[in-house]
Amino acid sequence: MTQYDAIVIGAGHNGLVCAALMAKAGRKVLLLEASDVVGGLAASREFHPGFRASPVHGVTYFSASVSKKLDLARHGLSFGPALPTIGLGQNGEHIALLGDVATGAMQADIDAYPAYRKQLLRYAKVLNALWEKTTPRIGGGNLLDSLVYAQAGLKMRMLGREDMGEFVRILTLPMRDLVAENFEDPRLQALLSWDGLIGSKMAPRSPNNAVLPLLLRMSGENEGDYVVPKGGVDALVRALEAAAKEAGVDIRTNSPVHKIDIAGSEEGLKAVGVALESGEVIAAKQVISSADPKTTFFDLVGAENLEIQFSNRVDRLRTDGFVAKFHAALSKAPEVPGLAHSNGRLLIAPDLDAIEFAYDAAKHGEASPNPVMEITFPTEHDASLAPAGKHVLSANVMYAPYKEKTDWSDAARTAFTSRIIETIEAYAPGFSALIEGHELLTPKDLEHQHRNTGGHWHHGELALEQMMMMRPTYGAAQYQTPVPGVYLCGAGCHPGGGVMGAAGMNAARQVLA
């Protein structure tokens, strides 16, 4: 049987990227996936006979260097043009954002928007120095490492005095203050705050943690615009899978890992392989987990193999998801008054308070009675997701607490589902009549389906205290873990979640080093 140099656990996009890059570097790599398909959260699953959907809406900031390194273009990955983000208004008055252009909002805001976006892009470019590198320990590592920070610092200085001050100031602003300082139109304010909040336990009034993720999202060459691969999100998964296979990665689905095999000796602990739930044991010198930190350290490594302070730090990680996924199988595309059919993303968030108050309910353990959401129609990009002529509606709905006070009883699920449908119906009259079937994926369901603790998109809050050299926590923030031979490569490590691939790439670099 084959002797593997490295085993990568989890065939999500970061696992695929990491495995492929290691194989390209000549290592013999085995990629193990618990479910029956590769792609993790990006994989499309059937939710109603003949209808499929993926939790992922777009690939706005998928790393260009990953595409290049793995030559994904040759494997069939290409991106369509940037698509508009549309803020739905009642009675058919909508606003739209695409690139520098805002339409439908107050004139003053439309005029102010390009400058605002340019400013944020300037700041996003400063941070680009950080995302695709390992963020070294501060003062801990060697001086060379710290150059990463020096570089970012220099870029910051080059903004000039005024701009740098402003950068430092807005970095921790709540989205509400940031947008309210610049815009008047309530719908535009809500629309612009969205990308800073989505996926997190954050509301417009929450300070500190919104702007950094927003700038991360704007870091790619799409500059924050909504982008989907030609052929839909599946096209990305297929390309990554093809690249991995070509590089020589052995991929095994339906192979859930039970434990990472750890051997102890006078020299201490080290990974020697993995044991599958099937009982099969596979040896390897390096085990790289794209599972979230809590799953990796508590389920796969085991607290018994970790120093107590470290496992306490993993235990206190904030990993509760606050976003639900809603999928609807539609007999035809719904009509939204005043909106020619759109392949962009539609937001239902009338103003900042609507988002804030939706959050308040979730904060207290209740699904938002008046949810806000981001809607897309994946079938616009991949007709194969539904029977001919039919459509799939996919919505990220905020807010749905992982810890719902009834633990997501059927009653709670039904109530939330109907609130979602009623909300959409209000903007797309006749919508509910088109529904042939639907599914609600609460964070609990996502956790069950994807084994990501808390059902959290990003394997843990993208918050200052859990970012960069502190992601997931110090002692494991440079992809190595306290157990020699065990590495992290998932969204739980720097730079974090979103379909970006940088975590997998950085990890591969670190493991190969």
Partner 1 sequence: MKKYDAIIIGAGHNGLTNAAYLAKAGLNVVVVEKNDYIGGAAVSRELHDGFVYSNCSYVCSMMRQVIHRDLDLTRHGLMLVPYMGTIAFGEKGERLISYASEGPNYNELKRHSPHDADAMYRLMADLERYSTLIRKTLLRTPPDPGRLRFRDINELLFLAKTFWELGENELYEYIRFFTMSAAEFLDDYFENDFIAAVMATPGIIGTALGVDSPGSAYILLHHVMGDVDGNIGAWGLARGGMGAISKSLAGALREHGGEIMTSAPVQQVLIKNGKASGVVLDNGDELEANIVVSNLDAKRTFTKIVDRSDLPERIFKKAENFKIRGSSGKVNIALSGLPKYDGVPNNRYINRGGQAFIGSMSTLERAYDCWKRGTWSDDPFIESVIPSAWDPTVAPPGQHWMSNFIQYCPPELADGPWTPEKRDAFGKTVIDKIERHSPGFKDLIVHMEVRTPFEIENEVGLTEGNIFQGELTIDQLLFNRPFPGYAQYRMPVKNMYMCGSSTHPGGGVSSACGANAAREILMDLRKSNTVPEDDCSDD
Q: Quick one: three-class SS letters along 170-201?
A: HCCCCHHHHHHHHCCCHHHHHHHHHHHHCCCC
CB of 470 to partner 1, least distance (A): 5
Nearer of residues 206 and 222 to partner 1, judged by Cβ: 206
CB of 360 to partner 1, least distance (A): 5
Nearer of residues 200 and 394 to partner 1, judged by Cβ: 200
Residue 151's Cβ-count burial label (10 Å; 0-12, 13-18, 19+) is middle
Cβ neighbours of 26 (radius 10 Å): 11
CB of 212 to partner 1, least distance (A): 10
Binding flag, residue 241, partner 1 (CB under 8 A): no
3-state helix, strand, coil split of the chain in percent (to 5) is 40, 20, 40
Report the length, in residues, of the chain.
513
Is residue 90 classed as helix, strand or coil in its secondary structure?
helix
Nearer of residues 121 and 173 to partner 1, judged by Cβ: 173
Nearer of residues 180 and 333 to partner 1, judged by Cβ: 180
CA angle 175, 398, 181 (to 5 degrees): 15
CB of 343 to partner 1, least distance (A): 35
Q: Report the distance separating Cα 372 and Cα 503, nearest Å.
A: 29
Binding flag, residue 145, partner 1 (CB under 8 A): no
Binding flag, residue 143, partner 1 (CB under 8 A): no
Binding flag, residue 122, partner 1 (CB under 8 A): no
340: Cα separation from own chain's centroid: 29
Nearest to 442 by CA among 461, 472, 420: 420
Nearest to 35 by CA among 237, 251, 256: 256
Interface pattern 19-38 for partner 1 (x via CB under 8 A) = --------------------
| Span 73-112, contacts to partner 1 by CB under 8 A | none
226 within 8 A of 83, measured Cβ to Cβ? yes
Nearer of residues 177 and 425 to partner 1, judged by Cβ: 177
Nearer of residues 64 and 180 to partner 1, judged by Cβ: 180
Rg (Cα) of the chain, in Å, rounded? Answer: 22
Binding flag, residue 45, partner 1 (CB under 8 A): no
CB of 199 to partner 1, least distance (A): 16
Nearer of residues 35 and 135 to partner 1, judged by Cβ: 135
Nearer of residues 114 and 140 to partner 1, judged by Cβ: 140
CB of 405 to partner 1, least distance (A): 11
Nearer of residues 48 and 363 to partner 1, judged by Cβ: 363
CA atoms 204, 210, 214, 215: torsion sign? positive
208, 331, 432, 449: residue in contact with partner 1 (rule CB under 8 A):
208
* Total chain residues near partner 1 (CB under 8 A): 37
- The DSSP output letter for 301 is I
Helices 186-197 and 175-182: angle between axes, nearest 10 degrees:
140
Binding flag, residue 277, partner 1 (CB under 8 A): no
Nearer of residues 142 and 161 to partner 1, judged by Cβ: 161
What lies within 8 Å, CB to CB, of 109 at 6+ separation is: 102, 183, 184, 185, 188
Binding flag, residue 305, partner 1 (CB under 8 A): no
Beta strand 486-488 pairing with 95-98 = unpaired
Binding flag, residue 279, partner 1 (CB under 8 A): no
| Span 162-201, contacts to partner 1 by CB under 8 A | 162, 164-166, 168-173, 177, 181
CB of 137 to partner 1, least distance (A): 6
Q: Which stretch binds partner 1 (CB under 8 A): 85-93, 161-169, 254-262, 277-285?
A: 161-169
CB of 319 to partner 1, least distance (A): 12
Interface pattern 454-493 for partner 1 (x via CB under 8 A) = ---------xxx---xx--xx-------------------
| Span 361-380, contacts to partner 1 by CB under 8 A | 363-364
Residue keyed to tokens 């390009």: 114
Q: How far is CA 130 from CA 169, 301, 426, in A?
A: 19, 29, 43
| Span 341-360, contacts to partner 1 by CB under 8 A | 353, 356-357, 360
CB of 152 to partner 1, least distance (A): 14
Encoded tokens for 40? 């993790």
Nearer of residues 415 and 470 to partner 1, judged by Cβ: 470
138, 150, 426, 433: residue in contact with partner 1 (rule CB under 8 A):
138
300 within 8 A of 289, measured Cβ to Cβ? yes
Binding flag, residue 307, partner 1 (CB under 8 A): no
Binding flag, residue 303, partner 1 (CB under 8 A): no
Binding flag, residue 318, partner 1 (CB under 8 A): yes
DSSP-assigned letters across all residues of 11-28:
-BHHHHHHHHHHHHTT--
Nearer of residues 183 and 326 to partner 1, judged by Cβ: 183
Q: Report the distance separating Cα 376 and Cα 407, nearest Å.
A: 28
Residue-wise burial string across 76-102, b where 16 or more C-beta atoms lie within 10 A, e elsewhere: ebebeebbbbbbbbeeeebbbbbeeeb
Which residues contact partner 1 (rule: CB under 8 A)?
137-140, 161-162, 164-166, 168-173, 177, 181, 205-209, 316, 318, 353, 356-357, 360, 363-364, 463-465, 469-470, 473-474
